[in-house]
Every structure is written in C-alpha cells, then in structure tokens.
Amino acid sequence: MTIIPLTKPAILPLLPALNLPLYRLPRPLSSLTDPILPQRICSFFFKLVNCRNGGSFCFQIISCFELSGRSLLGGLKNDLSGLMNTSYGMMNEASLSQQQQQRRTFIQMGTVLKVVDNSGAKKVMCIQALKGKKGARLGDTIVASVKEAMPNGKVKKGAVVYGVVVRAAMQRGRVDGSEVRFDDNAVVLVDNKDKKTKTDRQPIGTRVFGPVPHELRKKKHLKILALAQHIA
C-alpha cells in the first residue's frame, strides 16, 4: 500500500483523485524559500503516479508544481530586493537632507568647513564660535579642529586652530537689498591673537583661493582681502 505524506495544503486537491491514505510527517520539510523544495515534490509525485496511472498525468503534476514553485520563489526574491532598494533610498534621502540642512543654517558645533588657503589643512570641524555666539556667519571667527591636512603643511591633523568664515551657504542680506550666498562653507586659518600688542589675527597661509565677500572689510580682515583672488 502506498502512503502520501500530508505536509502542504497545495497537495490536498490531488488526493481524492489518487485515493491514497495519508499520514503526517514527524517534522516538516524545508521552508518555502528553499529552492530544492519544488524538485523534491516533483520527484515524489513522479515516482508515485508512474506506479499507478502511467506517465501522462505525472508530467501535468510536475509542470504545475514547477510553475507554482518558481512563481513563489520569484515573488519572494522581488519583494526582498524591492524592500532593500526602498530602505537604501530612504537612507540616502535622509543623509542628503541632513547635509543640506547643515549647510543652509548657522555654522555651529560639528559643522565641517573647507579650508581655502595654503596653510596645509583641507577640512576643519567647528568646535565653537567666539564671542559667545550660538552660530557663526560671514566674517566671524571660530575655533576648529583639523580633520584633513596635507603631510608637509604648516598645520597638522588634529590641531586646534582659529579660522575666519569667508564663505557661508547661509544667505545674508546686504544694504542695497541683494543677498550673498555661496555653495559651500569655507574658512581661512589665522593665528592666535597677541594680547600684548593687541594685533588682529593674521592669516597662516600666503594665498586665499576662490571668492570672498567684501563684508570682511567691516570685520577688519584686510589681510585676507589682500590675499584673495576675487572679492564678491
């Protein structure tokens, strides 16, 4: 007597035609995500139906289970890939929006700025703004930590430096009604102020790359304006 194991509901419609007794396995087969499962079911029915009704009905059952197994596995694969793409896109949008928000606000603690002089530093991170301000704008002086630097430069990585904000992504209004805004946040590194002589902070480098606003004149950063390539 031949016995069919009852494991999945998809086998139930075929049982009245076969007229065979059933029994439950002590443990189930592998999960539906197992790619070997459709082949196992097809081989089982191939042996079973060949014994009773010949090979014509067997090939119909095999084709049915192959199509159902492939469609099920394909659907699971598509859902998984779609979920991963959606999560990846959301993470990219969140990171981009955070960077844009950081660029368009005040320069505050944690803001990364580009160094536009030849002092040797490439990027610095703002630690605080001087004079008790919550955020720095064009012409303000900040305390920063060097994050990237050239090997043979005057300023080394990890050093605490002073910098004058010469470009800011946050817009600033002018007296004539126009507004000035740059594509990035940039600083020029300056030395520490001498309390005895009371001289202003002088630039560490000898060249300033890119445009700088003429608002630096009100802040008395005349040396930076003299070294700049273009005054906006």
Total domains in the chain come to 1
Is the residue at 49 inside a domain? no
Burial (Cβ within 10 Å: 0-12, 13-18, ≥19) of residue 46: middle
Q: Considering the entire predicted model, what is its pTM?
A: 0.54
Is the residue at 73 inside a domain? no
Is the residue at 20 inside a domain? no
Structural domain including 209 reads 96-231
- Say which CATH number the domain at 182 has: 2.40.150.20
Contacts for 23-29: CB closer than 8 Å, 24+ residues apart: none
Is the residue at 218 inside a domain? yes
Is the residue at 80 inside a domain? no
Distances (CA, A) of 51 to 20, 47, 163: 13, 7, 88
Is the residue at 224 inside a domain? yes
Mean pLDDT of the chain: 71
Is the residue at 77 inside a domain? no
pLDDT at 87: 56
pLDDT at 230: 86
Q: Which residues contact 126 (CB under 8 A, 6 or more apart)?
A: 107, 108, 109, 110, 111, 112, 113, 136, 142, 143, 144
Is the residue at 225 inside a domain? yes
pLDDT at 33: 47
pLDDT at 92: 56
Low-confidence ranges of the chain (pLDDT < 70): 1-105, 132, 194-199
